[in-house]
Amino acid sequence: MERPNERRRLPPLNALRAFEAAARHLNFSRAADELSVTPGAVSQQIQNLEDYVGAALFKRTPKGLLLTDAAQTALPALREAFDRLAEAASLLTAAVDGRRLTLTAAPSFAAKWLVPRLGKFEQAHPQVDVWLSAGMEVVDFATGEVDMAIRYGSGRYPGLEVIRLMHETVVPVASPELLEANALERPEDLAHHILLHDGSPDADDSCPDWAMWLAARGIKGVDGARGPRFNQSSLVIEAAANGRGIALAKRTLAQADLDSGRLVIPFEASTAVDFAYYVVHPKAKGRLPQVKAFVNWLKAEADAHEAALQTLDNGAGI
């Protein structure tokens, strides 16, 4: 019978790391640079591993290194094992420091929707410190440095737990002071206004810009290409609230300014888009109590937000 210590007998971790890096680069020197060791040290670790498994792992050819069949077969499982080790290390760290919750979100969503609500979570969970990073880059969860992310997109995030928070619509918005000075009663009146453009890099083909919005309604005589452009949704909303012109705004992000009266919707012409807001995290992170608490709170806030919008729309007869 195989004993537990025999079952768990593994080659040296350093040898496995050297092999994985060398297999990824197919170059001992580049692997050595990544691991901060000498090429000779990488070569020695590879030799130790080959002695351990009793088979060659690389073929030396005039054009460079190639993996043997055995190495190609084992490499995917080894990479998965290193990912699992990184995940386990992250969970160990989180277990020691259960006060911290690290998340990322797009800057506009963080500023216009999330941050104004965070105080509620802090009051309900004073033992948790939320570390929020606002950025547009895709999160590499393999590093273990980020617990969860809030993303605006299609909802297809392979390998992650995905929970839909809210859908999105686009509506025209303007400051009430601007409309008092220059009436806007129907879309054709846009010819007398400056159009503000949301140039955020969402890659959502269903989200209309001004040219698409005007064309869909058959509006003539309005140049949908003219006007200032902003690379963040929050910036175009702020520009509209300050009377710079008329914006097509994501309603979820603009709703606080609509509620406060800084913005108004001059005429009802909302456009539903395909993208939505999602909370995503690795499956293992979902077992952390601070992640569970934040996801539950976030979903409740999102549900309340959408219910409030539905009540407003029904009251307006939309």
| Residue of 215, 175, 216 lying closest to 196 (CA atoms) | 175
pLDDT confidence band for 7 (50 / 70 / 90): very low
Task: Flag whether pLDDT at 213 surpasses 80.
Answer: yes
Half-sphere exposure of 92 (CA within 13 A, CB side): 6
Task: Flag whether pLDDT at 113 surpasses 50.
Answer: yes
pLDDT confidence band for 265 (50 / 70 / 90): very high
Comparison of pLDDT for 90 and 146, the residue scoring more: 146
pLDDT at 6: 46
pTM check: above 0.75: no
pLDDT at 80: 84
Round the average pLDDT of the chain to a whole number and report it.
89
Task: Flag whether pLDDT at 58 surpasses 70.
Answer: yes
Q: Which residues contact 146 (CB under 8 A, 6 or more apart)?
A: 102, 103, 104, 133, 139, 140
pLDDT confidence band for 126 (50 / 70 / 90): very high
CA–CA gap between residue 308 and residue 234 (Å, rounded): 21
Query: Residue range 25-44: average pLDDT?
Result: 91
Query: Residue range 20-29: average pLDDT?
Result: 91
Query: Residue range 135-150: average pLDDT?
Result: 83
Q: What percent of the chain has pLDDT over 70?
A: 92
Max intra-chain CA distance, the chain: 88
CA–CA gap between residue 277 and residue 120 (Å, rounded): 20
pLDDT at 315: 62
Q: Over the Cα atoms of the chain, what is R_g?
A: 27
Comparison of pLDDT for 86 and 64, the residue scoring more: 64
Task: Flag whether pLDDT at 272 surpasses 90.
Answer: yes
Task: Flag whether pLDDT at 83 surpasses 80.
Answer: no
CB 139 within 8 A of CB 149: yes
CA–CA gap between residue 272 and residue 306 (Å, rounded): 14
For tokens 């005007």, what's the residue?
214
Task: Flag whether pLDDT at 8 surpasses 70.
Answer: no
Q: For residue 94, count CB atoms less than 10 angstroms from its CB and return exposed for 0-12, middle for 13-18, buried for 19 or more.
A: buried
Comparison of pLDDT for 277 and 318, the residue scoring more: 277
Task: Flag whether pLDDT at 33 surpasses 50.
Answer: yes
Return left, alpha or beta for 61; rule: phi > 0 is left, psi -120 to 50 is alpha, else beta. Answer: beta
